[in-house]
Amino acid sequence: MIMRALLRWLVLLVTAVLALQLFFVSRIALMALVNPHSTTFERSEAWRIYQDKGRLPWRQQWTDYDNISDHLKRAVIASEDDAFSYHDGVDWEAIEKAWQKNAQAQSQASRRSSNGASTSRPPKLVGGSTITQQLAKNLFLSGERTLLRKGQEFVLTILLERLLDKRRILELYLNHVEWGEGVFGAEAAARHYFRKSAAQLSPWEAARLAVMLPRPRYFEKLPGSSYLADRSAVIAARLWHAELP
């Protein structure tokens, strides 16, 4: 009886997982034709902001791929995922490099701790996520970091790459990525920071927006950051090496 009950629960679990994947497949396939109004991440952020402030400052406006500056497309690829046009959704080399850097940072933090140095600040960790992986996470998943969520992110990344072309993936990403508190998408970011449309961004403006992406809310509060200025100059110089899909 116990084995039969366990088998029944296992069948139900597998059925539920398969049904969820079919739901994701249908949603992604629909995105080939229909622009999504919002993402899971945007909705969770909207709720967080509303809870914190009792109001919802929200900036977002869909902009077609051809109406987004090529400077911004190249800057984002150069800054976030320089192999975007070539990989299958997961850049294993970037993941390996990120793992090595994180291991080194944690090792240095451990040595400082053993020597009696202050460890109030955690080691700075870097990610190896591609643009497709970031889009998968933003579209459908929560912000929690678990092996189960990471596994689902991997599946969604593969589905995005199989069901959509690179141009559409980049278009979705640029229209829904966070660029500040309540600021989502290239058009909203261009108007919020530079009072112009996403089509009118200069190479330097595009580079500056691209550099903000890993920590947009942090850099929104520090517009005079020397790191932001220096890194923007580096990305602006690398702009023309980035290949568009």
Question: Are 74 and 112 found together in one domain?
Answer: no
Question: Are 121 and 211 found together in one domain?
Answer: no
| 3-state SS record for 74-133 | HHHHHHHCCCCCCCCCCCHHHHHHHHHHHHHHHHHHHHHHHCCCCCCCCCCCCCCCCHHH
Range of the domain at 63: 42-88+164-245
Tell me the per-residue pLDDT of 181-230, one tens digit each, with 9 for 90 and over.
Answer: 999 999 999 999 999 999 999 999 999 999 999 899 999 999 889 999 99
Confidence (pLDDT) at 121: 44
Look at residue 240 and tell me if it is in a domain. Answer: yes
Task: Identify which has the larger pLDDT, 27 or 126.
Answer: 27
* Total number of domains constituting the chain: 2
Rounded CA separation 82/235 (Å): 11
Give the global pTM: 0.85
Region 121-129 average pLDDT: 52
pLDDT greater than 50 at residue 122 = no
CATH number at residue 189: 1.10.3810.10
Token match 């580079």: residue? 207
Question: Are 183 and 210 found together in one domain?
Answer: yes
Question: Are 202 and 219 found together in one domain?
Answer: yes
Quote the DSSP letter at residue 22: H
Question: Are 84 and 169 found together in one domain?
Answer: yes
pLDDT greater than 50 at residue 133 = yes
Region 111-134 average pLDDT: 62
Look at residue 7 and tell me if it is in a domain. Answer: no
Tell me the per-residue pLDDT of 53-63, one tens digit each, with 9 for 90 and over.
Answer: 877 778 889 99
- Give the list of residues 6+ apart from residue 82 with CB closer than 8 angstroms, or none: 241, 242
Q: Where are the alpha helices (DSSP H) in the chain?
A: 2-31, 40-53, 70-80, 92-114, 131-140, 147-163, 166-176, 186-194, 203-212, 216-220, 226-238
Look at residue 133 and tell me if it is in a domain. Answer: no
Tell me the per-residue pLDDT of 73-95, one tens digit each, with 9 for 90 and over.
Answer: 999 999 999 999 998 888 767 66
